[in-house]
Amino acid sequence: MKGNSGRKLMALILFLVLPTALLAPLSVRSATADTVLSTVTVGSGPLAVAVNPVTNKIYTVNNDNVRYAMTVIDGATNSTATVGVGTDPGAIAVNPVTNKIYVVNTNLYFTNSNNGGHTGSVTVIDGADNSSATVDAGILPCAIAVNPATNKIYIANRDSNTVTVIDGATDSTTTVSVGTGPDAVAVNPVTNKIYVANSNGGHTGSVTVIDGADNSSATVNAGSYPLAIAVNSATNKVYVVNNSNAYGEYTTGTVTVIDGATNQTVTVTVGLNPFALAVNPATNKIYVVNNSDDGDTVTVIDGATNSTATINVGPDPGAIAVNPVSNKIYVVNCGQGPGDTSPNWDGTVTVIDGTDNSTTTVPLGLHPDAVAVNPFTGQAYVANEGDNTVTVIDGAAASEVQKSISFTVGQNSYTANGQSLAMDAAPLIAGGRLLAPVRYLADALGAQTTWDATRRTVSILRGNTALELAIGSAALNDNGRVGWMDTAPVIINGRTYFPIRYIAEAFGYTVSWDASSQTVTVSQGN
């Protein structure tokens, strides 16, 4: 990306690009899908991996207790570069809007040497030139989450019972007190709420809910030993994994489901020893990894009903990642079965097809620890700690398949590929055109949207097509070419309404109208 076109494309990238992108699943599986494309050598002891889908760069945190670095992989060429980071790096997060990468350094070596009390740090890397800066964190920082909408970064500090808030524009920090033993953190960029899971030493835990606007907080009760957390910003629900295994006994775990609007909770029973999860906001499914000698599984929670299903996966499952575009779920299996004492072992990935819960197994390197996906390219990246590599898996980039999306005047639901989905506002007719809330149309088309409150514009990005529309203006900017609509976008009751036809046709869809039912159908053939 160069010049104005590059800056414009970056400006159009949805502030929810990775953590909460609301992408309609296409359920595409090609003959070359789920195979190993390549293996990339990285630094020693890769423990974590993250992807910037905008730049197609992949970042691994390397920590062998002696050498500390981050490897940068160019997704187009698999060439690599190395960036130095702090002592004992662990977690990593990316802000795709600012192209900044944040590496959490626990400084655990110094903590042990000094009998505790040594503060950690965060290495801030500029993705454009790999230059870096260091920001202080609290004691034993262990988890990180980014809000790309506000450009704030949140680090959970386990031993100081705090969260460090970094202002991404200035690298200045603020400290927020939370519960005892914060182990995980997640962000809802739509509501600007931050959720911190506090393990409380293995007893009944809690979630601290931080309001990102003023850093005020509230506390929500969770189950025993909460240690993982994820947000579905499409439904404003928060999912907390309660391991219930702080004292070495395998017990049935639970997931606390928090309603982000009310902080009311529901408890869902999952498998034995759960400790990781991931959310697909497009299908409203939640995937919980259960790791036990009695059976390694993934519990699938239907977010609409909280009903569950169980999928068998490989031995010793750990990390998990979801591709909301292809509706594939990647579960990393470390490969160590019951009684296995080998320090290194060949791992696998169980690839789950979210449409029918069928699975495929892909071989990996030694002792895989982490996984991340690039939904734009369809590729998955697994960090193998045991042989200092990253396995690149071809998940098959989503291709166009026939889809059908229908909106009916006055109805607070729409239909996508035969599935009824709720809306918080109903379509209406204005100026002889059917207008629908832009968020839901964009979601159904697999597009990404961002709102510029100052200019009162909405930008919509899908693949190589970038649209920009302004409230009250009939102009439609399509990849820099300006056309004209016969109806201007409007804001009604706080919701942005757009004429369906122009947006759908810009993305290659056709639009039909049924006057008797007052239903518009958006469809696309092969």
Residue in 386, 328, 336, 383 with CA at minimum distance from that of residue 360 = 328
Same domain, 505 and 416: yes
Write down the pLDDT at residue 1: 40
Domain of 452?
A: 403-524
The residue that leads in pLDDT, 295 or 515, is 515
472 φ/ψ angles, rounded to the nearest 5 degrees: 80, 0
Same domain, 435 and 377: no
Same domain, 454 and 485: yes
pLDDT at 502 over 70: yes
Q: What is the mean pLDDT of residues 285-299?
A: 89
pLDDT at 217 over 90: yes
Residue in 480, 475, 458 with CA at minimum distance from that of residue 3 = 480
d(CA 326, CA 64): 34
Same domain, 386 and 492: no
**pLDDT tens profile 233-274:** 888 999 999 987 655 566 789 999 999 999 999 999 999 999
Write down the pLDDT at residue 295: 76
Query: Looking up tokens 């697999």, which residue turns up?
Result: 446
The residue that leads in pLDDT, 483 or 299, is 299
Write down the pLDDT at residue 33: 59
Write down the pLDDT at residue 247: 54
Q: What is the mean pLDDT of residues 498-514?
A: 86
d(CA 368, CA 60): 12
**Based on the structure, what is the number of domains in the chain?**
2
Same domain, 360 and 413: no
The residue that leads in pLDDT, 503 or 169, is 169
| Amino acid identity, position 285 | K
Residue at 455 is within a domain: yes
Write down the pLDDT at residue 251: 77
Percent of the chain exceeding pLDDT 90 equals 49
Same domain, 381 and 423: no
| Amino acid identity, position 160 | S
Whichever domain contains 466, its CATH number is: 3.30.457.10
Q: Which of 88-92, 95-99, 335-339, 506-510 is predicted least confidently?
A: 335-339
Residue in 14, 6, 260, 279 with CA at minimum distance from that of residue 149 = 14
Residue at 180 is within a domain: no
Residue at 64 is within a domain: no
| Amino acid identity, position 315 | P
For 67, the token pair is: 């050498």
pLDDT at 312 over 90: yes
Cα→Cα distances 27→302, 375, 487, Å: 17, 13, 34
**pLDDT tens profile 160-206:** 999 999 999 999 999 999 999 999 999 998 899 999 999 987 678 99
**Position 464 confidence tier, pLDDT thresholds 50, 70, 90:** low
Write down the pLDDT at residue 509: 86
pLDDT at 225 over 50: yes
d(CA 45, CA 51): 18
Average pLDDT for the chain: 84
SS3 441: helix
Q: What is the mean pLDDT of residues 287-296?
A: 86
Write down the pLDDT at residue 292: 82
Write down the pLDDT at residue 114: 43
Write down the pLDDT at residue 307: 97
Radius of gyration from C-alpha coordinates of the chain: 23
**Position 9 confidence tier, pLDDT thresholds 50, 70, 90:** very low
Residue at 365 is within a domain: yes
Write down the pLDDT at residue 415: 84
**pLDDT tens profile 370-425:** 999 988 788 999 999 999 999 999 875 443 333 688 889 988 888 877 777 778 88
Contact 232, 251 (CB under 8 A): no
d(CA 119, CA 114): 11
Last residue of a domain, one of 369, 399, 429: 399
d(CA 400, CA 282): 16
d(CA 226, CA 203): 9
* pTM for the whole structure: 0.75
Last residue of a domain, one of 377, 399, 421: 399
Burial class (CB in 10 A: 0-12, 13-18, 19+), 449: buried
For 106, the token pair is: 């626990």
Query: Alpha helix (H) ranges present in 76-139?
Result: 108-113
207 φ/ψ angles, rounded to the nearest 5 degrees: -125, 125
**pLDDT tens profile 61-86:** 998 777 799 999 999 999 999 999 99
Write down the pLDDT at residue 491: 85
Q: What is the mean pLDDT of residues 226-232?
A: 95
d(CA 217, CA 494): 26
